[in-house]
Chain A
Amino acid sequence: MRRSTFFSFVAPSVMSMLILIALPLVAIIYLSLHQSYTQMEIKEVKTEVPLFGGKTREVIRNVPQPVLDDNGNGIQVWEYVGAQNLKNAIDTEGLSAAFKADQELETPRSFIKALFDEVRDVDFWSALEFTLIYTFLTTPIIIILGFGLALATNRLTERLRGPVVFVTLLPMIVTPVVSSLAVYWLFVDGGVIAASLEAMGIGKFYFLADQFTIRAVIVAYGVWYAAPFAFIILYAGLQTVPDDPIEAAIIDGASPWQRVRYIVIPHLSPLFAVIALIHIMDSYRVFEPILVFGSRVFANSVQYLTYYTLVFEDNIHKAAAYAILTVLGVIVLLIPIMIKTFKDQKAGK
């Protein structure tokens, strides 16, 4: 193929990658390196607020008011702050304070425990803690569960497969916010699960009342939501397993488990890598259950922090810094899988 032909073929995808991936990334980095605000000064202002029935209450307060330029418009400050937003996001100050605070403790064990408690008190690190727990718990579970479901479905008769595949995919079809709400309503006071347990005489359970159970519910939600994804990919993969080696294995007297272990799993191994890759990217950005379950005090996520900073602090620059940290976190988690895939490909050649 001539070079120019090659370039004209790849140009559309290169362009779309530049516009849809590279440009937003650059914009986020640019935003995170700056800080902007309206210049304000504190002035005494008399305000009137309505009560009802025509009554009002007058309040005189010191309020920040905009500093105006010659045209009567507020002055916008846009300044380069370097890594300051990133530093604020990971809270380097809080972190170093955490290390200094515990110098007097005697045993190494109590030191580590106290240090861990201090570090967890910092927003970013506590969010990272649960994000990682969520990622590392759900990834293996969805692969095992999805694989089991795929094997089971594959043994069904042709007529049953269609409906079973459809039903299994349902959790993935439902919008995450809606399914998070559905799960939340199962567990809240008077919810189906809480009420059934009580009706069965097992007693009252408050699933949203402490860290362990609320985290368990969120992880269970994550598994329920993502397992169909692993299932459908592995189920498709199972259709490509060649019959010959399986037949040969049967003739050689291999047990069903040995057939799966020595023929099916090696055949599907690239798919396992793909599922792990995509699910890690997805689960590191866990957001909806955190938002819906409301218990940030028990479970927080890096993605939620980005949202919070944007919405409640109205600070797009620090939110951009959190977004960069999310991307970096995903990259770090993916490195081992990328290396493995790369090696496999090389070996395959």
Chain B
Amino acid sequence: MKLKQILMATALTLAPIGAAAECSIEGTGEVNVISNFFEALEVLANEMKTCGNDGLIIDTKLTTDHKEETSKAFTAATSPFDAAAVANSSITLLQAKGQLRPLNDLVEKYRDKYNIEDGMLIKFGDDVAAIAFMVNAQHLFFRKDIFEEHGVAVPTTWDELLVAGEKLKAAGIEHPYGAAFGNSWELANEYVNLLLANGGTLFDPATSESTFETPEAIAALKMMGKLYKFMSPNAMSMDFGDVKRQLQQGDVAMAILWGNEASAMDDENESTVVGKIGFAAAPAMAAGGAPASTFWWDGYVIPKNLDGDPDLTFQVLMHAMREETVKANNDITLWIRSAYEPGEYTTAITDTVVNGAPPYPMNPQASLAHGALGENIADFIVGKESAEESLADATKAYRAAAKEQGLLK
């Protein structure tokens, strides 16, 4: 349901700021790049386009359907896309199917020209599979003024968050908490955050069998049921764009949201709570434990079956990711390049990561598990089924999907 974001975003940000600098790539041909749709990717796409000239055609496609299109293109005889933006989860199946071109030679050739840093390289074994440019994690957003008024401390564990919710509700705040439960992918993401922080797992890596029905999993799911009671009753229809709006419109007192949305809270054009939102690491399941969040990287890959020139494509990508882009757009996200200056909007992301939030599992089984959970756990949250029953349904859905992908016998 990111459709809503597309419509909103196209209306609001048709004119992003470019760090107009000369692009001096020599070569002729066509470079086609597909990616997801959010601000940092838009900036990079615009940077890529500055390399276009009479002989070099640069075409970028930003779509929330990038995952399916990329997977179809990379499976075909030749891919119409010469590069694609991927993240922790979307790279897994592409890599496992052997569709990615190792980038080691290109990295060596252009390391100095574009100052490619080791931290940007996503390695599977010895192969450089992707070049990453940003990281992101979900964390806690809260209303500093409301917390202060009612003497609520910033929760560091989920149990504390429940207590805070109770207190705020008693003080007349109808929906203290917000989180993206409405889109099945995002719903499962909230769940995975809690599950991993609770010591749970999604599957057994040795056999690919799912491990959905464990005490850790049931406890994590029950926590979601408790959280739902502090959310708007419409929450099962609200995705992260709606949660962002709830915060900006002052409808909720705290929420879990993506770190790169932090600066939007102080955007006077869309927010009614400028300066009132504080950011903190995601709460932990147990005191002192890892925050219930996973961290994500976003980067670009080049397929083996591209119809263009990998060298040219790589240069266009690297030009877009150069230091100047980071400096000119410092606050829009947490860039990986060391030229990035941490600001007030990203400290909560780094806190979340430093306190031990794990990277989102980079296994193809994880995306299948994620999908199966997303379509089934809602039955428990709205009270249609018990936690055990809905996790059993998810197991069944996962098994079917994994068998069909050849991961399970």
Q: Which residues of A contact B342 (CB under 8 A)?
A: 52-53
- State the 7 A-B residue pairs at the shortest beta-carbon distance, nearest first: A209-B233, A66-B98, A37-B406, A74-B98, A297-B378, A206-B233, A312-B371
A48 with B397: CB separation less than 8 A: no
Q: Counting CB contacts under 8 A, is B120 at the interface?
A: yes
B97 with A52: CB separation less than 8 A: no
Q: Which residues of A contact B68 (CB under 8 A)?
A: 310-311, 314
* Most chain B CB neighbours (cut-off 10 Å) among A94, A189, A295: A189
Q: Mark A273-304, 1 if CB is under 8 A from B, else 0.
A: 00000000000000000011111111000000
A54 with B119: CB separation less than 8 A: yes
CA–CA, A2 and B67, complex, Å: 55
CA–CA, A188 and B232, complex, Å: 10
CA–CA, A20 and B393, complex, Å: 38
* Most chain A CB neighbours (cut-off 10 Å) among B1, B92, B340: B1
Q: Counting CB contacts under 8 A, is A255 at the interface?
A: no
Q: Mark A176-219, 1 if CB is under 8 A from B, else 0.
A: 01100100100111100000000000000011111000100000
Q: Counting CB contacts under 8 A, is B206 at the interface?
A: yes
CA–CA, A207 and B236, complex, Å: 11
Mark B residues whose CB is within 8 Å of A.
Answer: 1, 3-4, 7, 65, 67-68, 71, 88, 92-93, 95-99, 117-125, 132, 135, 175, 182-185, 205-206, 208, 232-234, 236-239, 242, 246, 249, 251, 295, 297, 334, 336, 338, 340, 342, 350, 353, 359, 362-365, 368, 371, 374-375, 378-379, 381-382, 384-385, 389, 393, 396-397, 400-401, 404-407
Q: Counting CB contacts under 8 A, is A15 at the interface?
A: no
Q: Which residues of A contact B363 (CB under 8 A)?
A: 61, 63-64
Smallest CB gap from B362: residue in A = A47
What is the distance, in angstroms, from A336's C-beta to the closest C-beta of chain B?
33
* Most chain A CB neighbours (cut-off 10 Å) among B98, B237, B239, B393: B237
Other-chain residue from B1, B121, B236, B381 in contact with A292 (beta carbon distance below 8 A): B1
Known A62-B206, A177-B3; contact A35-B404, beta-carbon cutoff 8 A: yes
Name 16 interchain pairs, CB-CB below 8 A, sorted by A: A47-B123, A51-B135, A52-B340, A53-B342, A63-B364, A181-B7, A206-B234, A208-B238, A294-B1, A294-B238, A297-B236, A297-B379, A313-B401, A314-B93, A315-B405, A317-B404
A40 with B96: CB separation less than 8 A: yes
Q: Counting CB contacts under 8 A, is A335 at the interface?
A: no
Known A40-B96, A296-B184; contact A291-B239, beta-carbon cutoff 8 A: no
Smallest CB gap from B181: residue in A = A294
CA–CA, A294 and B362, complex, Å: 27
What is the distance, in angstroms, from A296's C-beta to the closest C-beta of chain B?
6
Other-chain residue from A46, A50, A312 in contact with B119 (beta carbon distance below 8 A): A50
Smallest CB gap from B122: residue in A = A49
Q: Counting CB contacts under 8 A, is A247 at the interface?
A: no
Q: Counting CB contacts under 8 A, is A308 at the interface?
A: yes
Number of chain A residues close to chain B: CB under 8 A: 65
A51 with B119: CB separation less than 8 A: yes
B119 with A296: CB separation less than 8 A: no
B-facing residues in A210-253 (Cβ within 8 Å): 210, 214
Known A51-B353, A188-B238; contact A63-B404, beta-carbon cutoff 8 A: no
B98 with A291: CB separation less than 8 A: no
A64 with B371: CB separation less than 8 A: no
A50 with B336: CB separation less than 8 A: yes
Other-chain residue from A38, A49, A214 in contact with B406 (beta carbon distance below 8 A): A38
* Most chain B CB neighbours (cut-off 10 Å) among A208, A210, A293: A208
CA–CA, A42 and B233, complex, Å: 43
B249 with A190: CB separation less than 8 A: yes
A314 with B379: CB separation less than 8 A: no
CA–CA, A190 and B382, complex, Å: 22
Other-chain residue from B88, B95, B118, B396 in contact with A56 (beta carbon distance below 8 A): B118
Q: Which residues of B contact A207 (CB under 8 A)?
A: 234
Q: Which residues of A contact B71 (CB under 8 A)?
A: 314
B397 with A297: CB separation less than 8 A: no
A54 with B234: CB separation less than 8 A: no
What is the distance, in angstroms, from B96's C-beta to the closest C-beta of chain A?
5
Q: Counting CB contacts under 8 A, is A73 at the interface?
A: yes
* Most chain B CB neighbours (cut-off 10 Å) among A48, A63, A188: A63
Q: Counting CB contacts under 8 A, is A133 at the interface?
A: no
Q: Which residues of B contact A214 (CB under 8 A)?
A: 237
Q: Counting CB contacts under 8 A, is A59 at the interface?
A: yes
Q: Counting CB contacts under 8 A, is A21 at the interface?
A: no
What is the distance, in angstroms, from A233's C-beta to the closest C-beta of chain B?
30
What is the distance, in angstroms, from B398's C-beta to the closest C-beta of chain A?
10
A42 with B236: CB separation less than 8 A: no
B362 with A52: CB separation less than 8 A: no
17 additional contacts, CB 8 Å, given A50-B132, A66-B97, A312-B184? A37-B404, A45-B125, A52-B340, A53-B338, A59-B359, A61-B363, A64-B208, A64-B363, A64-B365, A177-B3, A190-B251, A208-B238, A293-B237, A298-B236, A311-B68, A312-B374, A312-B375
